Amino acid sequence: MRRRPARNLLAGAAALVLALVGLTLATASASFAADADQSGNPLPHLADHAGLLTDAQAADLESELDRISDERGVDVVVVTVPTLGFRTATEFADDYFDYGPDPLDPTIPGSDPDAGYGRGPDRSGILFLVSTEGRDGAFSTTGETIKVYTDERLEGLQQDVAGYLHQDDWNGAFQAFAINVDRTYHNATRFRWEIVALVTLGAALIGGFGPVTVWRRQLKSVRPAANARDYLETSSLVLTSQNEVLVSQNTVVVSTQTSSGGGGSSTHFGSSGRSHGGSSFKF
Amino acid sequence: MAQALDYKCPQCGGNLVYSAEVGLMVCDNCGSRFDPREFQAQPQPPDPAASASAAGAPPQGAPEPVPGETAQAAAAAWPPAQFDQYTCRSCGAVVVAAATEAAGTCPYCRSPIVITQQLEGELAPDLVIPFQTTRDQAVAALTKLYGKKRLLPKVFSAQNFVDEVKGVYVPFWLFDYDIHLIEHYTATDVSTVHMGSRRHITTRKYAADRAGDARFLGIPVDGSVNMPDAIMESVEPFDLTQAVPFEPSYLPGFLAERYDVDSSQAAARAHDRLIKSAGTIFQDTVTGHERVASAGAEVFIKQTRLHYALLPVWMLTTFWRGQRFTFAMNGQTGRMIGDLPLDRQAYWRWFFGLAGASAVVAGLVATLAVSL
C-alpha cells in the first residue's frame, strides 16, 4: 500500500514526458504542414507564351508543376517567351518571378511587386525561363529555394535540361526540370521528421540520464585504488636512457571541394530589390 | 594469562588517553598532558586477578573462574581460539577479546587498555601515524558526506544517527620498492598542408622508449582480515612522512588490531598496484608531439623493504532499513568515504523531469532549425 502513491507518481511523470514529447512532435508536424499548405497565388505555374508545347503536354506539365508546388510549399514555374526584350535572361526570370506577367502583355514581366510568384513570407520558389529568340535559358530561385539550390545543384539542373533543349525537346526539358525539383526537395527535406525525432529523443536521454548518473555516482565513494602513484617518490626519478624512432609516415590527400550537393549559393538582387539565386545559359 | 597495559597519570592516577586534538597523552581526570614519546608506562601493580585467584575469590565480572586446580578443563575450552583473555590492571576483571585486538577498553571499568602481547616480537609495529582528527570531526565529516546529495533518501539523513564511531589503528603492511623500469610510448603528429584545392594530411607515428629508476615508498596494504580492503584503499592516501616510531602510548583511547594477514599475502596486492603505476611515469619526458600514449612497460624490482605500521582510521557504522552502512575516515587527513543508499523514486522523478524538459527544448529548437 505504501508504494502505490510512488507508482502513481512515476506513471504520472512518464505520462507527462510522453505528452511533452508528443506535443513537440505535433508542433513540428503542424509546422511542416503549415509550410506545405501555404497556398500560392492564382498565377499559373506554366506560362508557355512561346507556344512550345501541345495542349496535352501543357496540361500534363501544369498539373505536375501544381502538384510539386503544393507538396513542397514553393512555386515551381516554367515560362517560355519568344524574346527577352531589353532584359538579360537572368533579369527577365527574376522580374517575371517577382512581378508576375504584365496584365496587358503577359509575355513580359509586370511591375506590381505584390503580384508575383513565391510562397511563404520569403516568397520561395524557382522559375525556369526559356527564350527561343536567342536560345536563352535561366533559372531564378527565391527565398528558401536559394538555399536548397546551391550552385552545384543548379549546375546539375542545367545539365539535366541541356540535352533536351539542344534537341528542341521542350517538353522533355520541362519534365526533367520538374523531376529534378521534386527529387531535390525530397532529398533536402526527407530527413526532417527523423532529425526532429532523433534530436528530441537524444536530448531526452542525455538530459535525463546525464545528471542522474552523475548524482548517483556521488553516492559511491568506496573504490579500490587503481594504482600506487600517490606513493611514488618523485625526487627518486632518474632517467637513464631514452630513444625515439619514426615508425611510419602516411600522407592522405583530401580534396577540399565538396561533392554532397552542399556548398554555398551565389545570389544577386533583382530590380525589385529581392535576393535571387540562379543561373543562365545558352543552348 | 596476558596482562593488559594501561597508562596512569603520575599526578592523580587517572587514565591517560592519546588526544588527537593536542597530539599528547591527556589525563581524563586532571587534564595533565604528557608527550607519548617520552612517557614511560607506570610500574604496574601486582596482578589483582592473580591475587584474587590466590585468595580463592574470583574477580567480579569475570566470565569464567580464573585458572585454578579445579578449573583447568574449563580454561582449556574457553576462550575459543579466536579469542584471548586478559586481566584489566585497573579493576582486575578478566576480559575476553578478539585474538587480533591490540588496544581497546575494559568493558567493566571503561579504562583504556593496551594488550602488549599483541605488540611484541614479530607483532611489534615499526611505525605509527597518530590520530590527527577527533571523533567529533569524524561525525561532522559524515554529516558533510550526506549533504548536497540529491538522490540520497531524505529520511536517511534526517532520521539517521550514527550507531557506532570507533577510532581504530589498523595494521598495514607498507612496501617500499626500488625499481628499474622501461616504458614504451607511441607518439603521433599530424600536419596539414594546403596545396590549391587539396589538403595533404601527413600522420607520423613514433615509438619512444624511456628507461630509468624510481622508488615507491610505503605502498599500504591492510593487514587485517576484518577490515574491508576496498574501504581501506578508499581512505588513502596516508602521508607517511608523518609516521613516527611506534610507541604503545599512542594507542590508549583507541582500538587497535594486530595483523592477521601476513606480509607475503599482502605483497601480491602491493605488487599489483606497483605494476599498474608503471607505464606513464616518464611520460612527461616524451615531448614535442601532439599525442602521446602508453604502450606498456616492464618493471624490474631491485629492492623491496617492508614495514609494519598502525595507521589511524575512524570507522562509523549505521543501520537503516535493516541494512548496515559502513563509513570510514582517514584519521590523519580527514578523508571520509562510504557508499550511501539511492532514493529510487527521486532518481526516476528527476530523470523524467529533466528528460521531459530537454525533449521539449530540443524538439522545439530542432523544429525551428529544420523549418527555416
Query: What is the overall mean pLDDT for chain A?
Result: 84
Q: Which residues of A touch B267 (CB under 8 A)?
A: none
> Interior CA angle at A212 toward A208 and A214, to 5°?
125
DSSP string, B149-186: -TTS-HHHHHH---SEEEEEEEEEEEEEEEEEEEEEEE
- Which of B281, B285, B370 is closest, CB to CB, to A242? B285
Q: Which residues of A touch B178 (CB under 8 A)?
A: 236
Considering only CA atoms, which of B211, B173, B184, B127 is closest in space to residue B304?
B173
- SS3 readout for B192-241: EEEECCEEEEEEEEEEEEEEEEEEEEEEEEECCCCCCHHHHHHCCCCCHH
Tell me what pLDDT residue A93 has.
Answer: 94
Q: Which residues of A touch B348 (CB under 8 A)?
A: 10, 13
What's the mean pLDDT in B188-194? Answer: 92
Query: What is the overall mean pLDDT for chain B?
Result: 83
Q: Which residue of A lies nearest to B176 if distances are taken between CA atoms?
A: A231
A24 close contact with B: CB closer than 8 A: yes
Tell me what pLDDT residue A172 has.
Answer: 94
The Cα of A272 is separated from the nearest Cα of chain B by a number of Å equal to: 23
> Interior CA angle at A263 toward A261 and A266, to 5°?
110
Residue pair B111/B90 in contact (Cβ under 8 Å)? The answer is yes
A208 close contact with B: CB closer than 8 A: yes
- Which of B341, B353, B366 is closest, CB to CB, to A200? B366
Test A199 with B366 for CB contact under 8 angstroms: yes
The Cα of B186 is separated from the nearest Cα of chain A by a number of Å equal to: 9
Tell me what pLDDT residue A118 has.
Answer: 92
Tell me what pLDDT residue B326 has.
Answer: 92
| Omega within 30 of 0 (cis) for the link into B237 | yes
Where is pLDDT greater, at A74 or A13?
A74
Q: Write the pLDDT tens digit of every residue in B43-80.
A: 444 444 433 333 333 333 333 333 333 334 444 555 55
Cell of B177: 620498492
What's the mean pLDDT in A99-109? Answer: 90
CATH 3.10.310.50 describes domain A38-191+266-282: yes
Work out the number of other CB atoms within 10 angstroms of the CB of residue A2. Answer: 5
Q: Which residues of A touch B201 (CB under 8 A)?
A: 251-254
The Cα B279–Cα A261 span in angstroms is 48
Cell of B204: 607520423
Q: Which residues of B touch A195 (CB under 8 A)?
A: 366, 370
For residue B338, is it left (φ>0), alpha (ψ between -120 and 50) or beta? Answer: left
- Which of A208, A216, A225 is closest, CB to CB, to B355? A208
Where is pLDDT greater, at B85 or A117?
A117
What's the mean pLDDT in B104-121? Answer: 79
Test A21 with B359 for CB contact under 8 angstroms: yes
- Which of B201, B213, B365 is closest, CB to CB, to A240? B213
Q: Which residue of B lies nearest to A255 if distances are taken between CA atoms?
A: B198
Task: List residues bridging with A278 in a β-sheet.
Answer: A140
Tell me what pLDDT residue A14 has.
Answer: 58
Test B205 with A249 for CB contact under 8 angstroms: yes
- Which of B201, B358, B370 is closest, CB to CB, to A252? B201
Q: Which residues of B touch A242 (CB under 8 A)?
A: 208-211, 282, 285
The Cα of B357 is separated from the nearest Cα of chain A by a number of Å equal to: 8
Q: Where are the domains of chain A?
A: 38-191+266-282
Test B206 with A201 for CB contact under 8 angstroms: no
What's the mean pLDDT in A149-163? Answer: 90
Phi, psi of B58 (to 5 degrees): -65, 145
Tell me what pLDDT residue B273 has.
Answer: 94
| pLDDT at B40 exceeding the cut of 70 | no
Q: Write the pLDDT tens digit of every residue in B275-307.
A: 999 989 999 999 999 999 999 999 999 999 999
Residue pair B103/B85 in contact (Cβ under 8 Å)? The answer is no
Q: Write the pLDDT tens digit of every residue in A164-208.
A: 999 999 999 999 999 999 998 888 776 677 788 889 999 999 999
A104 close contact with B: CB closer than 8 A: no
Which residue reads 512581378 in cell numbers?
A99
Residue contacts between A and B (CB atoms, under 8 Å) = 251
Q: Write the pLDDT tens digit of every residue in A205-252.
A: 999 999 999 999 999 999 998 899 999 999 999 999 999 999 999 998
**ipTM for the complex?**
0.77
